[in-house]
């Protein structure tokens, strides 16, 4: 039982300290991207590491206190906590998993009250849905996580109590829910596109109804909201060109008052209408769109942090999306297609690359992954693809990039020792055609570098170090092996690495690890999987700089562990190879200690200089 005074203290502490810690954490991360002197950088890295270690413990305590309060909510604590949520939102802090837990408990609490506080429930549902969209849908859109949709529909249901909503912001919330159902949610969950017309008709009818129009003071704000809704409705036009709902859709947009719309959208929509009415051929439409794209991007658009600049990029991106879609869905000259798409894609990537790390948000993160998926099938040679992938990993997860390089170095060192002393360990690879030492080393090196690729499709949370991960977050992390394959979309040139991507968290004897569905014992690449699994554990366990939550074992402690689990978790022959070579042990010991900091610095410098 937590007494009232105590609850208040816990919540206020959480509100200031936890949020401060979140900001401090991101400041620390950013600061490393600004220093290019090695000594200063090293000091800063160590300071960051120590500070985050302490923060981790404080945050754990605060979260556990808050969970106790959540189990014993009363009016005062529920009120205080909803203000905390508001503050998270206002300060742009998306600690989604924690926020969702608090929000769901609060919604439950406020829904049971006798006098329903609609304004508060609208606010909580909207913020909750936003976080759930970040958290669930981006993570696994195939899985029908309905949570955000449910929350938006809940907000819509409050239309029936419109007069009981006390503030303009509350009433505006209903329009915001519509906006999200028509725009962002439909963007992520494609099936939702089929409902767009229905929602759009509904919101227009509602907006023009007496109940809304009679509140004179609201109109300015709501009108603004309707402009956004019209815009987002329009930006879906491309998906209706080949849809059975085409006529209904275009009838609706022809009715729109064009002065209500943003200028750039009208340009595309005019073209689309001409195209739909056969006044424009596919070739001509694509040509005009490319012209339009060039208008926005010019001689290379670079990020400068200003709104106008970001708008330009968004417009260019919208146009590129339409072009990609048109080329994909229709018969179009193959040569032109393979020429045009990478050109447009790399122009967009260049812009994303020019965004400094501190301004890099989940918005860019999503675009980056999305672009990658769209470009990959149109990149014809492997070098192009490798470049694209490196860009993706570097951009989205520098920590994963560092880890990949470390695992690559460790794997190659062990592989060389295997080739020297027990070449037959690689008999499976040799049989597959990697029949020279060079071929084996090259294969191992690439497989190691790409082994965690799937992390690029998981949330930023994967590298979160300032608090313990929640159960839900762990569940998502375990999806990263399978996500690699999703990301590469069965691309042929990477097929040889799939088994390593899928199997590197499985135990040597098959009796443990994940994903359960993947049978590593049957893999033709078993020796590579076993090797990279050992290299992976070696880096993860000894990394005290990047993984501030780990105790950080020395390499010698780790060797004991490898020996303890040889035959079950680890391949005993490979462990023996390490045991037998003092030279290798020395090298790995150094690499996982002092040398690691140099690897870190190189990667940071690469990011600082490249972008
Ligand atoms: Fe992994
Ligand atoms: Fe890994």
* pLDDT given at position 557: 87
Rounded to an integer, what distance in angstroms lies between the CA atom of residue 358 and that of residue 319? 27
CA of 451 to the centre of ligand 1 (A): 7
Give the pLDDT confidence of 459-490 residue by residue, as tens digits: 665 667 788 888 888 888 888 999 888 888 77
Among the ranges given (29-43, 215-229, 350-364, 548-562), the one the predictor scored with the smallest mean pLDDT = 350-364
Coil, strand or helix: which one is 10?
Answer: helix
The reported pLDDT for the residue numbered 549 is 61
What is the per-residue pLDDT for 570? 97
110 or 456: which leads in pLDDT: 110
Return the pLDDT at 139.
Answer: 66
Mean pLDDT on 112-136: 92
pLDDT band at 168, cuts 50/70/90? very high
Which of 172, 180, 133, 134 minimizes the C-alpha distance to 153? 180
How confident is the model over 503-545, as pLDDT tens digits?
999 999 999 999 999 999 999 999 999 999 999 999 988 887 6
Can you give the pLDDT at residue 77?
A: 96
Residues around ligand 1, an ion, CB closer than 5 A? 452
- pLDDT score of 263 more than 70: no
Flag whether the pTM goes above 0.95: no
Question: pLDDT tier at 546 (50, 70, 90 boundaries)?
Answer: low
**Residue 215: alpha-carbon gap to chain centroid:** 41
Q: Which of 213-217, 291-295, 400-404, 570-574 has the highest mean pLDDT?
A: 570-574
pLDDT mean over 290-312: 86
- The CA distance from 389 to 387, in Å, is 5
Contact yes or no for 88/98 (Cβ under 8 A) = no
- Model confidence over 40-49: pLDDT tens digits? 988 988 888 8
Token digits for 279? 């006044």
Neighbours of ion ligand 2 (CB under 5 A): 452, 536
* Contact criterion met (CB below 8 Å) for 106 and 85: yes
Average pLDDT of the residues in 173-182: 96
Buried b or exposed e, range 336-366, using 16+ CB within 10 angstroms: eeeebbbebbbbbbbbbbebebeebeeebbe
Residues 6+ away with beta carbon under 8 Å from 181: 149, 152, 192, 195, 196, 199
- Of the listed ligands, the closest to the CA of 503 is 1
Phi, psi of 513 (to 5 degrees): 85, -175
Closest CA to 459 of 88, 140, 130, 102: 140
Cα of 66 from ligand 2 centre, angstroms: 33
- Token readout for 515 is 């994903």
pLDDT value for 610: 60
- In the block, tokens 């002092």 appear at 594
What are 416-430's pLDDT values in tens digits? 999 999 999 999 999
Distance from Cα 183 to the centre of ligand 1, integer Å = 34
Centre of ligand 1 from the C-alpha of residue 353, in Å? 25
How close is the Cα of 419 to the center of ligand 2, in Å? 23
The residue among 438, 420, 421 whose CA lies nearest residue 429 is 438
Average pLDDT, the chain: 87
């Amino acid at each position: 039982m937590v007494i009232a005074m105590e609850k208040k203290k816990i919540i206020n502490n959480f509100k200031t300290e936890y949020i401060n810690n979140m900001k401090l954490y991101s400041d620390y991360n950013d600061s490393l991207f600004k220093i290019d002197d090695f000594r200063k950088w090293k000091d800063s890295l160590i300071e960051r590491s120590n500070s985050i270690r302490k923060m981790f413990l404080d945050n754990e305590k605060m979260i556990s206190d808050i969970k106790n309060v959540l189990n014993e909510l009363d009016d005062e604590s529920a009120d205080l906590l909803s203000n905390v949520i508001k503050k998270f939102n206002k300060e742009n802090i998306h600690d989604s998993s924690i926020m969702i837990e608090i929000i769901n408990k609060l919604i439950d609490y406020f829904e049971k009250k006798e006098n329903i506080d609609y304004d508060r429930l609208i606010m909580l549902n909207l913020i909750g849905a936003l976080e759930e969209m970040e958290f669930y849908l981006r993570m696994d859109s195939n899985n029908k996580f309905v949570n955000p949709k449910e929350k938006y529909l809940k907000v819509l249901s409050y239309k029936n109590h419109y007069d009981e909503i006390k503030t303009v912001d509350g009433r505006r919330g209903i329009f915001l829910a519509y906006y999200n159902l028509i725009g962002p949610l439909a963007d992520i969950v494609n099936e939702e596109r089929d409902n767009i017309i229905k929602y759009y008709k509904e919101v227009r009818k509602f907006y023009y109804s007496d109940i809304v129009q009679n509140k004179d003071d609201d109109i300015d704000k709501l009108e603004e909201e309707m402009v956004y809704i019209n815009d987002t409705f329009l930006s879906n036009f491309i998906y209706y060109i080949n849809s059975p709902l085409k006529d209904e859709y275009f009838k609706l947009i022809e009715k729109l008052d064009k002065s209500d719309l943003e200028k750039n959208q009208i340009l595309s929509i005019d073209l689309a209408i001409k195209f739909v009415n056969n006044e424009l051929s596919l070739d001509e439409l694509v040509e005009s769109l490319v012209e339009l794209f060039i208008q926005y991007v010019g001689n290379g658009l670079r990020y400068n942090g200003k709104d106008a600049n970001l708008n330009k990029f968004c417009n260019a991106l919208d146009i590129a999306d339409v072009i990609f879609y048109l080329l994909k869905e229709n018969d179009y000259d193959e040569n032109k297609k393979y020429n045009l798409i990478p050109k447009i894609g790399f122009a967009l990537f260049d812009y994303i690359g020019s965004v400094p790390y501190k301004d890099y948000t989940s918005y860019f993160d999503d675009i980056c992954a999305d672009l990658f998926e769209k470009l990959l099938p149109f990149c014809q040679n492997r070098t192009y693809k490798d470049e694209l992938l490196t860009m993706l990993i570097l951009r989205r997860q520098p920590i994963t990039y560092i880890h990949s390089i470390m695992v690559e170095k460790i794997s190659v060192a062990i592989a060389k020792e295997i080739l020297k002393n027990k070449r037959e360990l690689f008999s499976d690879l040799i049989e597959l055609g990697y029949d020279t030492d060079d071929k084996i080393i090259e294969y191992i090196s690439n497989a190691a570098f790409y082994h965690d690729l799937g992390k690029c499709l998981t949330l930023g949370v994967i590298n979160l170090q300032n608090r313990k991960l929640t159960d839900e977050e762990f569940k998502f992390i375990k999806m990263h092996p399978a996500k690699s394959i999703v990301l590469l979309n069965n691309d042929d040139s990477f097929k040889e690495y799939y088994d390593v991507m899928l199997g590197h968290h499985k135990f040597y004897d098959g009796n443990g690890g994940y994903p359960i569905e993947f049978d590593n014992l049957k893999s033709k690449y078993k020796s590579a999987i076993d090797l990279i699994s050992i290299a992976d554990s070696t880096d993860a366990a000894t990394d005290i700089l990047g993984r501030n939550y780990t105790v950080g074992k020395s390499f010698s402690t780790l060797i004991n562990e490898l020996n303890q689990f040889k035959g079950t978790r680890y391949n005993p022959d490979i462990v023996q190879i390490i045991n037998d070579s003092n030279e290798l042990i020395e090298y790995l010991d150094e690499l996982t200690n002092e040398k690691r900091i140099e690897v870190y610095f190189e990667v940071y410098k690469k990011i600082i200089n490249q972008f």
